[in-house]
Amino acid sequence: MKILVVGDVTSPSGVKHLEKNLWRLREREGIDFTVVNGENASFITGISKELAQTLLKSGADVITGGNHTLSNRAAYTYLEDSKEVLRPINFGDGAVGEGYTILDAMGYRMLVISAMGNVHIEPVLDNPYSYIDRLLKKEEGRYDFSILDIHAEATGEKLAIGHAYDGIINIIFGTHTHVPTADEQILPGGTGYITDVGMCGETGGILGMDKECVVQRMRTRTPAKFKSADGECLANGVIFTLDTDLGRVVGVRRICF
């Protein structure tokens, strides 16, 4: 089974890019299941119902979340009703929506978990380990394979999650920094891993944003309204090849499209 994960969608233009290119890539690469991190699809204000539905129609099977997912209160009802759009599980039981889902993938039951780290990121949520451990115990026997998006700033924190669940969760990928890392690998226990997938959005700026306004904020420490960069859109992704007989990942490849 080939599983594609796509890094943070940074703007509505990134959504349009996937609308145009994602099914084409899936067909060319023979992708069976796709996870897209869409927490920034509305450009720093979470994700809207309309943009989420566009991503799902465009080839995303699941949309994972992050620190901005709950910024758009207008999408709360949709988050409650949708099985395909997630927010980090460690927002807690009192938050709207769900932090995981189990969906069909080529006849297999695929568990997808969205979680968020604690280091150098806001809001500071509960420890993700306890939520993940509790979930895996609760759903034991109800899924065949599993995927975890760990949305976190610190590379070490993401690597720790990878090693903690090596051989337990089949695929673990990091999001949030918008910069793809070059450490795609298969961990000793057979888990496919990468520290950060990257992003899907406008190039030519800083993490998808206009470089002048970012530099101004950094240089002067004064407010400046963020706006999207003005370069062409590109999407960073990773293709994991999962051997369903062995129950382990046998291939990991970065792509840009």
For the annotated catalytic residues, the residue numbers are: 68
Question: How many Cβ atoms from other residues are within 10 Å of residue 132's Cβ?
Answer: 24
- Residue 49 φ/ψ, nearest 5 degrees: -55, -45
Angle at 199 between CA 69 and CA 95, to 5 degrees: 15
Q: What is the DSSP letter of 44?
A: S
* Closest CA relative to residue 1, chosen from 256, 245, 254, 235: 245
Q: Which residue's structure tokens are 């899907």?
A: 200
Report how far residue 233's alpha carbon sits from residue 62's, in angstroms, rounded to the nearest whole number: 21
Report how far residue 216's alpha carbon sits from residue 224's, in angstroms, rounded to the nearest whole number: 7
* Tokens linked to 234: 């590109």
* Closest CA relative to residue 58, chosen from 5, 102, 17: 17
Q: How many residues does the chain have?
A: 257
For residue 94, with 0-12 CB atoms within 10 Å meaning exposed, 13-18 middle and 19 or more buried, which class applies? exposed
Q: Which residues pair with 194 in a beta bridge?
A: 173
Which helix H or strand E contains 104, and what residues bound it?
A: strand 100-105
